[in-house]
Amino acid sequence: MGKILLRKAGINYMKSGKIMVLWLLGAVVLLLPDRAWAMHISEGILPAHWAVLWFVLSAPFVAWGLRDLRLRSEQVPHFKPLVGLVGAAVFIISCMPIPVPTAGTCSHPCGTGLAAILIGPWLTVVVTSVALVLQALFLAHGGVTTLGANIFSMGVAGAFVGYGVFHLARRLGAGWVLAAFLAGLLSDWATYTATSFELASALHGDSSLGALFVAILVAFVPTQLPLGIFEGFLSAGAYRFIYTRRPELLQKPVGGLS
């Protein structure tokens, strides 16, 4: 009798947990604003030659990432589900507007620092490209002509900085939680620094490139400073979860840079 009661109590506890998650999801959906733009550069902002240049610079990273995906999928059995999960996570995270109460504005994290730790920087460029294409086509979130620039800032800069920071911190003796936190934090800031440079280089005209770059970067600070810290905690939390549940997913797979 006692066991039955305990089991019922356990089921009720699980049900109440699920209901709470549903409530939270509902609240998030209701709080979504009608547009969720952030670092994505919108259609038509970059002149044609700059848009083409960023496509040309991003293309080799995407091509190498696709090669990496083919090779590692053949060698590691659980690799495709991991890439699928990370890709979906990057897509969701990068179109999820988060209000920053201290600034009164909204922006989104990128998820590329965490992705780079889990699947490597080259593949992060690939999943970021897929996410950005879908967002540009179906959500008016970033432009098609500015896709190359957006891939470079979020995919290339975010992924390689996150990956580099994580491994540098580990080599310097930092714990993995701190390393994951720094990777998330600095990959977010690197993305917005790259966006500032892309905008400044295309829009500075006769004025100073450096001055405009600093002006745009400073304008991002009130929103991105706290959001970067949030992304750091997000990365550390997700890394800790995987480390405790399936640490073998974090081992270095054969044949890839991760």
- The answer to whether 196 touches 215, Cβ cutoff 8 Å, is no
The stretch near another protein (CB under 8 A) out of 60-68, 153-161, 180-188, 244-252 is: 244-252
- The answer to whether 200 touches 46, Cβ cutoff 8 Å, is no
The stretch near another protein (CB under 8 A) out of 60-68, 161-169, 171-179, 242-250 is: 242-250
Determine if 247 is a binding residue for another protein (CB under 8 A): no
Instruction: Tally Cβ neighbours within 10 Å of residue 206.
Output: 4
Residues 156-185 vs another protein: string with x where CB under 8 A? Answer: ------------------------------
Q: How far is the CB of 9 from another protein (least distance, A)?
A: 16
Task: Identify which of residues 169 and 232 has a Cβ nearer to another protein in the complex.
Answer: 232
- Per CB under 8 A, the list member of 55, 64, 66, 105 interacting with another protein is 105
Q: What would the DSSP string read from start to end of 229-258?
A: HHHHHHHHHHHHHHHHH-GGGGS--TTS--
The stretch near another protein (CB under 8 A) out of 57-65, 159-167, 168-176, 241-249 is: 241-249
* Closest by CA position to 133, among listed 118, 121, 145, 116: 145
- In this structure, the chain runs to a length of 258
Q: How far is the CB of 116 from another protein (least distance, A)?
A: 18
The stretch near another protein (CB under 8 A) out of 5-13, 69-77, 82-90, 158-166 is: 82-90
CB-count exposure of residue 111 (10 Å: 0-12, 13-18, 19+): buried
CA distances from residue 159 to 40, 100, 146, 211 in whole angstroms, order as listed: 16, 24, 19, 26
Binding interface with another protein (CB under 8 A) = 29, 32-47, 78, 81-82, 84-85, 87-89, 91-92, 95-97, 99, 101-102, 104-107, 134-140, 143-144, 195, 199, 202-205, 212, 215-216, 219-220, 223-224, 245-246, 249
